[in-house]
Chains A and B, each alone.
Chain A
Amino acid sequence: MSRHEDPAASLAVAGLSCPVPANEGDRVLLGHGSGGKLSAALIRDRFLPRFANPALAVLGDGAIVELGSERFAISTDTFVVSPLEFPGGDIGLLAVHGTLNDVAMMGAEAVCLSCGFVLEEGLPLEVLDRVLDSMSAAAAEAGVPLVTGDTKVVERGKADGLYVNTTGIGRLRQDFTPAPDRARPGDVVLVSGPIGRHGIAVMSVREGLGFEVEVESDTAHLGPLVTALHQTCGAGVRSLRDPTRGGVASALNEIAGASGVGISLEGTAIPVPGAVNAACEVLGLDPLYVANEGVLIAIVAPESEAAALAALRSFAVGEGAVRIGVVQDGPGGMVTMRTGLGGSRVVDMLPGDQLPRIC
């Protein structure tokens, strides 16, 4: 079937919801890529049984492997954003920041990067040049060389301009292994800055969506923040996560599940920029599920809270760092939120993508 002109945005990658349940059929659905329950089921049922090994079983942002006496973190990510360029960044920046951030969230110092490109026939070379310039600048700024790569070209219509995969390798620090399963009751939940900017920036320029907001993607390298957390709090840092696809809500659900704890959020403490809030209102989105590319969540021991906040706030991208909640005994594996009214609600993992609501 030919491609049709589409005056409306396909909110395939981020949307909102009358959140109806996920039905798994006999084919891959877009919801399998949402970072929600369908994604988790896909990994659990189809990938894990076939590749089972101890490093994979941890299911972190990447894996930890031992080489001689040293331990390394390795993480890989594939980037398929549309449009390729959006306010505040492009796919190249995302590809470098995203993988470096995943390595950083494991507590490692990035050593090198690789990349693999799928290019679509007809992609303007000037677009490719801009994307490569972004990647090169981001890698240089982070001080991490891009040491190997690969390119493939597919026929027009077989890819969305370009796809890029990056893999990062990092050296783990001694006595610093933040992990999703290390959150303990009494710990505090910190977020490094205002949430929801990347997802809204990308949506604002999707074809046909027709709304204008002055929101730029927050894409940023978070490695320096993690280095500062390591230096000031050490083992007081329990878990680190960059809440990309699926947003803050999904990342916290993963931590609550892995650690077998409850996480209680203070609704009024969560920093949502006014423009993000406005866009979410129009679209019926919940900012807690909108993607970020330059925000980290840190679960830290209560005695490390002040030092961690000070460390985060010493960076421009972390100056809005605040505490948004606490870790509790239970309910195990659940994230709840205290609302401004004093009521509470469950902040569940979404079955699939957020979808635009009718009502």
Chain B
Amino acid sequence: MKFLSEYRDPELARSLVDRIRARSSRRWRLMEVCGGQTHTIVKQGIPEVLGESVELIHGPGCPVCVTPLEQIDRALNLAGRPEVIFTSFGDMLRVPGSDCDLFQIRARGGEVKVVYSPLDALELARKNPQCEVVFFAVGFETTAPANAMAVWRARELGIENFSVLVSHVTVPPAITAILESDDNRVQGFLAAGHVCTVMGWEEYEPLADRYRVPIVVTGFEPVDILEGIWMAVQQLEEGRHEVENQYARSVRRDGNLPAREIIGRVFELVDRQWRGIGEIPMSGLGLREEFAAWDAERKFDLAGIRASEPAECRAGDVLRGRIKPIECAAFGTACTPESPLGAPMVSSEGACAAYWAFARYRGAGTEAAS
């Protein structure tokens, strides 16, 4: 497949691994920000081939993982209402709220539908004027332009039975929060290629400068990720701290201007809770006042729904790379993939779930499956 097979070439990947291992004078700790990158890293077994040269810390970039419990509970509340058709991307359906998930709401008679685009949800609202259609607008800057466009179109078409439950987050404040913490262990970042396709990388330049960390805008295929690691390792070895762009086939410095424009018109920066981390100031996107009529939180008065994370969960420490998952007292006891306490155990790509699978694999008592 054009533009895909080149970036999965095992020969090229192995030569990058060799170069990274040869160049690393010590074990560097890099954080890949995006859940999509974590997916490739886990699926390809990249930590194993890197050995002692680089430790990859899985960042908070899985939107499923970081959506706060409170917002999940609000989604569940809306989805259970008889007049509501609740629409969402597929992987939000199984995320546990305080006492159930969207699949269970559907089994109890709630109308919950998987859509591939918020515009499909808008179309559903147009076709079912007797119902309230709510779309769960989650994700990073990547999904924000389409979600903004759905709200924009709703106003343009005068569709009043459509609204969005917004839980958008943005990457730079999360990187800042990690770097600001006293015991930060992350020495370099692979920035999320698709987020930067929308936003560009200008906003990362002050971060690289102020905190003296390399930030490499990186794609999602194995060769992309290894090349991103290679570029970050070279910077670290040379004492440089710059923003570099590995994902040049997709990302420009100023990003996608029309996409940024629609985000700016519909959304504004707001404080946002991150599951497992807590509130990060000005880290989320919320609808501007002029779009209040399409804001599910205001339309359905959900402010009273509050939830708090289980106290014994140390997900925040794991996400910042402060502790390994196995150092958390709840790991494998109160917290397992079947019954997770925190975000990193929720997704199988989360750090805790990845450790769980790995421990099970090693615990069986044999070497790697060669």
Chain A interface residues (CB < 8 Å from chain B):
1, 4-11, 15-23, 25, 27-31, 208-210, 262, 264, 268, 274, 277-278, 281, 328-334, 336-346, 348, 351-352, 355-359
Contacts and interface: CB of A to CB of B under 8 A. Distances in A.
Contacts of B109: 1
13 contacts: A1-B82, A6-B113, A15-B114, A18-B39, A20-B91, A21-B338, A23-B103, A210-B116, A329-B366, A338-B45, A355-B94, A356-B116, A358-B92
Given A340-B8, A341-B10, A355-B114, A6 B44 contact: no
B47 interface: yes
Given A5-B124, A334-B364, A340-B10, A27 B108 contact: yes
Given A1-B111, A339-B44, 7 more contacts: A10-B113, A209-B116, A332-B364, A341-B14, A344-B45, A344-B368, A359-B139
B104 A29 contact: yes
- Name, among B4, B87, B337, B340, the residue most crowded by chain A CB atoms within 10 Å (CB to CB): B337
Return the 6 tightest CB-CB contacts between A and B, nearest first.
A343-B45, A331-B364, A356-B90, A264-B369, A355-B90, A336-B369
Interface string B305-330: 00000000000000000000000000
Contacts of A341: 10, 13-14, 17, 44-46, 49, 222
Contacts of A1: 82, 109, 111
Given A345-B45, A348-B348, A331 B91 contact: no
A15 B88 CA distance: 14
B300 interface: no
Interface stretch (B61-69, B196-204, B266-274, B282-290): B61-69
Interface residues of B, number: 83
B124 A355 contact: no
Given A22-B94, A336-B369, A356 B108 contact: no
B77 interface: no
B96 interface: yes
A10 B114 contact: yes
Given A18-B35, A356-B116, A23 B104 contact: yes
A19 B14 contact: no
A357 B142 CA distance: 13
Given A274-B1, A343-B49, A208 B120 contact: yes
B124 A7 contact: yes
B306 to A, nearest CB: 21
B138 interface: yes
Contacts of A332: 364
Nearest to B17: A341
Nearest to B1: A278
B103 A31 contact: yes
B35 A359 contact: yes
A6 B360 CA distance: 41
Contacts of B368: 336, 344
A21 B337 contact: yes
Interface string B1-36: 100100010100110010000000000000000111
Contact of A355 (B17, B85, B91): B91
B127 interface: yes
Contact of A4 (B39, B127, B339, B345): B127
A20 B366 CA distance: 27
B96 A23 contact: yes
A282 to B, nearest CB: 10
A93 B233 CA distance: 56
Nearest to B194: A359
A15 B90 contact: yes
A21 B94 contact: yes
A58 B10 CA distance: 42
A8 B62 contact: no
A10 B34 CA distance: 26
A240 B193 CA distance: 43
Contacts of B63: 358-359
- Name, among A11, A19, A22, the residue most crowded by chain B CB atoms within 10 Å (CB to CB): A19
- Name, among B35, B36, B42, B90, the residue most crowded by chain A CB atoms within 10 Å (CB to CB): B90
Given A341-B222, A345-B44, A358-B89, A20 B361 contact: no
Given A331-B364, A334-B360, A334-B361, A343 B48 contact: yes
A345 B42 contact: yes
Contact of B44 (A18, A208, A329, A340): A340
Contact of A27 (B107, B114, B115, B121): B107
Interface string B214-246: 000000001000000000000000000000000
Interface string B98-130: 001101101111010111110011011001100
B50 to A, nearest CB: 9
A196 to B, nearest CB: 15
A268 B45 CA distance: 14
Interface in B344-370: 345-349, 357-358, 360-366, 368-370
Contacts of B128: 4-5
B280 interface: no
